[in-house]
Structure 1
Amino acid sequence: MSEETRFAADVYGDRLERAVAAMRAAHLDALLVTPGPDLRYLLGSAAQSFERLTCLVINADGATPSVVVPKLELASLQGSAVSDLGLRVLDWVDGTDPYKLVRSALHAGSRVAVADAMPALHLIPLAESFSGLPVSATPVLRELRMIKDEAEIEALRRAGAAIDRVHARMGDFLMAGRTEAQVAADIDRAIQEEGHTEAAFIIVGSGPHGADPHHEVSNRVIQRGDVVVIDIGGPVEPGYYSDSTRTYVLGEPRGEVAKRIAELERAQAAAVAAVRPGVTAEAVDAAARAPLTDAGFGDAFVHRTGHGIGLSVHEEPYIVAGNDLELRAGMAFSVEPGIYFPGEWGARIEDIVVVTEDGCESVNQQPHGLTVL
């Protein structure tokens, strides 16, 4: 992992300090983090999780954190903030017990929290050595990761601009007579050409397939008159995701397609307009639903309005009924109402927004309405 794939070391130093403060507030004594989005958030390390234990150990007393790592995987820490921050590296070789190293790095106290990405392969032997069962670190790490710092927001802006450029090229890919799979292959290449490290997901839902929100791609031949849902995204360095959906039609829209999608566009705009600090997540969801219900097809909107995004495609906060979480500046999430008519067609409009001090900023700028190709 090169210097270009992470933020400056002081960004990670600040995150570790905030993690310690959050642990103290939660009355936790230690935090154990294995490879995954949480480790990347705290250290800028994209190390993978294998059968050999890699684990960041943070003590609530503020002592220098330790990283337990297999000697043969020391290279996985290169380019992370470990050396810049002066963290202790405790390496181990096959045939020795890495869990003893973790225990040796723990200070006084028995309230140990583990990140939710820790495999059971490591959680069980670690738990057996603690005086009490570990607890989930999700409440602590969720709070940290939900509020994006300026470096993260800028990464999300870059990701949003990159996926916008892919949507702007859709007229080159999406044509009658081609299969969904052929279109997806072109989109895959374009996603990488426009600055992503990979395509994390591609949905090409043409005609009746568009009525399945989680349809991916198939060998269906796209036909003239089809409504097509294109939902695409992927990570840009240092690992922050794009996610944007637009709806297209091949030729002039039939029947009430244009009218219904115009109502969807109004619903998406209403939800974005509702986003500001102090508003609850469920209120934004309700703002998206009201116009569709008033138009007579609220039942066609069958999923939540949005999900948080960052180092994971789906993370908190979730914009859904029943979530009374109050929005705060720095939260980032999708606003993506959709309408689906089984056996016929579907449509969805999705932007990523970042909550600001007095509203929100959308990182996606492509036109929202039905695009005729």
Structure 2
Amino acid sequence: MTEPNLGGSTALGPTAFTADDYAHRMARATAAATSAGLDGVVVTPGPDLVWLTGYTPTAVTERLTMLVLAPGTEPALLVPALERGDAATAVAPPPSTCGPGATGRTRTRWPPACSGGGRRFGVSDSTWAMHVLGLQEAVPDLRLAALTRCLPMLRAVKDDAELDRLARAGAAADAAYEEIVGAPFAGRKESEVAADLDALLRRFGHEQVDFTLVASGPDGADPHHEAGERVIEHGDVVVLDFGGLLSGYGSDTTRTVVVGEPTEEVREVHEVVRRAQQAGVEAVRPGATCQDVDRAARTVIADAGYGEKFIHRTGHGIGVTTHEPPYMVEGEEQPLVPGMCFSVEPGIYLQGRFGVRIEDIVAVGPDGLGRRLNNTDRALRVVG
């Protein structure tokens, strides 16, 4: 895959998205809704609203904020009256206001696009239940479906500017890894190493750190272990999984290190995972589907006799959040499309002993092949 187009970026970072960029995204979403047989989409605060408008409310409360997109109508953004000033300076569509009644419940005139019997709208997954129920009460014949079910690929295909941001986030995470492996591990708590990783991600440009998983020894057999008070010992295998947001786009990478010289078993397991991860990346090719990536990685691990020890999907999409569609998992027949970005992160987990995982973010290029956005050494690294 060719490098993302960095035109428009500066030495200090990528240029800001414009009102035209957001208008184009809203038009894309409206067209996708029509193709899916929907009459429109309803978007409340969360990643979909950020991606479509650039607007993040200062506070997400019981007061309704809602973007409505429907064919043949202008985008409509409803915000509480006290939020109108912020919304007017931050988004492409001019906001209109709705205010709470004496009970705190929102009273508003729903956009005409939502009215009429039998209409079916996609609604963002982050919508509060009270707002979904309120909308159904106000428009009884309105049918709603979760956006990730009816439009799962809405944010999945990135343009050059988004690829630029993802590449920068990946490079910053790589820089954090290269620094952390030079720090002492033995005799320190997992939480202390995790705090170092947090500081390094911020030092290299992340405005938000979402997770710094440090799982040593038997803790590494839990894929989502939170860094705890366990003291890392000589001989421990340590899984490092970390990421967050830089310029609004995500990083997520995993490497496995060992404190001191590894045993032959540790070397073997790590090599199996490394080959599985390589196979998953190489499965990204024209005509491939999401499940093909999962199958390629899983086959290597199963053939080595560790099939039951790989207990999660091979990958997930990434963009304005660190986990989003598409998912690299058996049964997901979505074709890989140029511009998609997702993790490839197989692992082996030996309960009570140790775990190994290797993860890179991969972007699908215009030729249909994959390119890693993480480029640190995937070999087993010995730390002190």
Matched to 2:320, the amino acid is L
Is 2:290 aligned against 1:284? no
Residue pairs, 1:167-178, within 5 angstroms: 167-178=177-188
Kindly indicate whether the alpha-carbon contact (under 8 Å) linking 1:223 and 1:250 is maintained by their aligned counterparts in 2: yes
The whole-number CA distance in structure 2 between the counterparts of 1:142 and 1:80 is: 26
Kindly indicate whether the alpha-carbon contact (under 8 Å) linking 1:22 and 1:140 is maintained by their aligned counterparts in 2: no
Residue pairs, 1:1-373, within 5 angstroms: 6-47=16-57, 48-61=59-72, 63-77=73-87, 79-82=89-92, 87-95=93-101, 98-104=106-112, 106=114, 110-138=119-147, 139=149, 141-237=151-247, 239-358=248-367, 359-373=369-383
Matched to 1:111, the amino acid is R
Matched to 1:92, the amino acid is C
Matched to 1:149, the amino acid is D
The whole-number CA distance in structure 2 between the counterparts of 1:124 and 1:4 is: 40
Question: Judging changes above 3 Å, is the alpha-carbon distance between structure 1 residues 4 and 54 closer, same or farther for their aligned structure 2 residues?
Answer: farther
Question: Judging changes above 3 Å, is the alpha-carbon distance between structure 1 residues 289 and 27 closer, same or farther for their aligned structure 2 residues?
Answer: closer
Superposed CA RMSD in Å reads: 2.1
The whole-number CA distance in structure 2 between the counterparts of 1:75 and 1:230 is: 42
Q: Partner of 1:340: helix, strand, or coil?
A: strand
Give % identity. Answer: 45
Deviation at 1:265, TM superposition (A): 0.7
Kindly indicate whether the alpha-carbon contact (under 8 Å) linking 1:300 and 1:339 is maintained by their aligned counterparts in 2: yes
TM-score by length of structure 2 reads: 0.89
Matched to 2:75, the amino acid is P
Structure 1, residues 339-358: CA drift from partner, whole Å, max 9, x if none? 11111111100000011133
Q: What does residue 3 of structure 2 align with?
A: none
TM-score by length of structure 1 reads: 0.92
Question: Judging changes above 3 Å, is the alpha-carbon distance between structure 1 residues 311 and 356 closer, same or farther for their aligned structure 2 residues?
Answer: same
Question: Judging changes above 3 Å, is the alpha-carbon distance between structure 1 residues 192 and 53 closer, same or farther for their aligned structure 2 residues?
Answer: same
Q: Partner of 1:203: helix, strand, or coil?
A: strand
Q: Point out where structure 2 has 5 or more consecutive residues left out of the alignment.
A: 1-12
Q: Point out where structure 1 has 5 or more consecutive residues left out of the alignment.
A: none
Deviation at 1:78, TM superposition (A): 5.4
Structure 1, residues 130-162: CA drift from partner, whole Å, max 9, x if none? 141432151454222111122211111111011
Kindly indicate whether the alpha-carbon contact (under 8 Å) linking 1:99 and 1:126 is maintained by their aligned counterparts in 2: no
Q: Partner of 1:256: helix, strand, or coil?
A: helix
Deviation at 1:334, TM superposition (A): 0.3
Question: Judging changes above 3 Å, is the alpha-carbon distance between structure 1 residues 4 and 357 closer, same or farther for their aligned structure 2 residues?
Answer: closer
Matched to 1:16, the amino acid is M
The whole-number CA distance in structure 1 between the counterparts of 2:266 and 2:146 is: 46
Deviation at 1:284, TM superposition (A): 1.0
Deviation at 1:37, TM superposition (A): 0.5
Q: Partner of 2:336: helix, strand, or coil?
A: coil
